[in-house]
């Protein structure tokens, strides 16, 4: 996959051509030289729920909290689950 970077004015002028490139990778549209938005194609395996979670601050805060929790050794977890 390749990534194309294009200024917004060019993106508007060459919309059809640029969109035809999306099947080959992402298009990063810039405004005054700084990234503004990304255009991606939707594939068959696209998962709306995963995309929503990836962008959710609440989800990532939950992940950070879970990572701060103490862990237990694998054999202890297996014993607790009765799988030893």
Give the CATH number of the domain where residue 51 resides: 3.40.1620.10
**Which DSSP string corresponds to 7-45?**
EHHHHHHTHHHHHHTGGGEEEEEEETTEEEEEE-PPPTT
Q: What mean pLDDT comes out for the span 60-67?
A: 95
**17-50 confidence digits (pLDDT tens):** 888 888 788 899 999 999 999 998 877 777 788 8
- The percent of the chain in helix, strand and coil, each rounded to the nearest 5, is 50, 25, 30
d(C-alpha 11, C-alpha 28), whole Å: 10
Whole domain around residue 56: which residue ranges?
2-80
pTM (2 d.p.): 0.54
Average pLDDT across the chain, whole number: 89
Count: domains in the chain: 1
9 pLDDT above the threshold of 80: yes
């Amino acid at each position: 996959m390749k990534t194309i970077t294009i200024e917004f004015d060019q993106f508007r002028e060459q919309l059809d051509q640029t969109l035809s490139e999306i099947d080959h990778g992402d298009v990063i549209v810039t405004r005054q030289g700084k990234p503004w938005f990304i255009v991606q194609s939707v594939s068959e395996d696209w998962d709306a729920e995963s995309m929503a979670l990836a962008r959710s601050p609440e989800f990532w805060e939950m992940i950070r909290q879970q990572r701060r929790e103490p862990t237990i050794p694998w054999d202890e977890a297996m014993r607790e689950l009765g799988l030893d």
